[in-house]
Amino acid sequence: MSHAARAEPLDPSRSAAEAGRRLDLGALFRESDVPSFLDELERDLVGLAPVKRRIREIAAHLVVGRARESVGLTAGAPTLHMTFTGNPGTGKTTVALRMAAILHRLGYVRRGHLVSVTRDDLVGQYIGHTAPKTKEILKKAMGGVLFIDEAYYLYRPENERDYGQEAIEILLQVMENQRDDLVVILAGYKDRMDRFFESNPGFRSRIAHHIDFPDYDDAELITIAKRMAADADYAFSPAAERALADYVAMRRTQGNFANARSIRNAFDRMRLRQSLRLFEAAGLVDRERLATIDEGDVRASRVFSGGIDLKRAGAIRADTGRSDAGASEPSTGPGA
């Protein structure tokens, strides 16, 4: 379904009828199933209040656009290309998946799937290699959403023989000419994306929605860890919860902290320690023991021997709870 609005002369009698027509926007919104998507977003994602509000605004704007069309008002073809900026592990890919579902339900994309790529998926290694790679990815993404992570790596001005500019030119052309059938989301660190747009003004002119993803605070990260545990049929003992609070405050001071991604890595290590503890203890176990993460499973992390004392961690928690999350993405990292 094309969402491009066409300016057509209105019949005067038709205009009068449409002018007097009343629509129940609440009913239209409910019939679209978008409220269920938004409720899931609210329920499943911890924090991210400004992000959720922007997604709700975009969804509301699209529903109102449909209503305007139905009564003969000009809606205009909405520009749906977006940028998601923020540090690693703040939920950008997850929100992109939800955005694809919302756009599909509202009829703005045909299929509602998400194709997630990086520079390596688009840019070739030799002359004549980039165009077919980029076009193949675009073909796969048509009818849905193309999510380009760390999009600024497409542009490398320091390398005269780099082929990223060719991919950029193809992307810009498709973003303009086929915006009825493809939504592109560019993602990455905010400062690097700002520099990327300065060097490539064609992207900025095609993107209407710039959404910044904040870091999680300590309480949100603890909630995320507890949800991960519950989803995997684990639970933290009271002492382990206190240790987890200390862990979060200390871990986020390290330069390669990556929000929820770091917490997931840490939780995986806690599960391994719990398994080893139970295995070495041998003997009989019950459901509760198999499901419980103990204090020692948390405090065995190298974070607690990394030279950061608990008083400092407590001060950090009592302050803003925010982090200056670092510039590189970890695997298990020093916080394992």
Render pLDDT for 295-322 as a digit per residue (tens, 0 to 9): 999 999 999 986 444 444 444 444 434 3
* pLDDT tens column, 5-53: 433 444 444 444 455 567 777 777 777 777 788 888 888 889 999 999 9
The reported pLDDT for the residue numbered 212 is 96
CATH topology assigned to domain 218-318: Helicase, Ruva Protein; domain 3 (1.10.8)
Task: Output the CA angle 330-94-215, nearest 5 degrees.
Answer: 55
CATH classification of 12-211, choosing from 3.40.50.300, 1.10.1740.10, 3.40.50.1100, 3.10.129.10? 3.40.50.300
What does the chain come to in residues?
336
Tokens in use for 302? Answer: 């190298």
Please return the burial class of 310, using the count of CB atoms within 10 Å of its CB with bins 0-12, 13-18 and 19+: exposed
Task: For residues 184 and 122, give the distance between their C-alpha atoms in angstroms, rounded to a whole number.
Answer: 14
Task: For residues 271 and 232, give the distance between their C-alpha atoms in angstroms, rounded to a whole number.
Answer: 10
Backbone angles phi, psi at 83, to 5 degrees: -125, 140
Average pLDDT, the chain: 83
Q: What does the CA dihedral 125, 129, 133, 136 come to, rounded to 10 degrees?
A: -170
* pLDDT tens column, 113-167: 999 999 999 998 888 889 999 999 999 999 999 999 999 999 887 777 788 889 9
DSSP 8-state assignment for residue 294? P
The owner of tokens 């491009």 is: 4
Say what the pTM is. Answer: 0.79
The reported pLDDT for the residue numbered 288 is 95
Model confidence at 74: pLDDT above 80: no
Whether the CB-CB separation of 17 and 92 falls below 8 Å is answered with no
- CA distance to 138, 149, 253, 272, per residue, from 296 (Å): 49, 37, 21, 12
Domain(s) of CATH 1.10.8.60: residues in the chain: 218-318
CA 327 to chain centre: 18
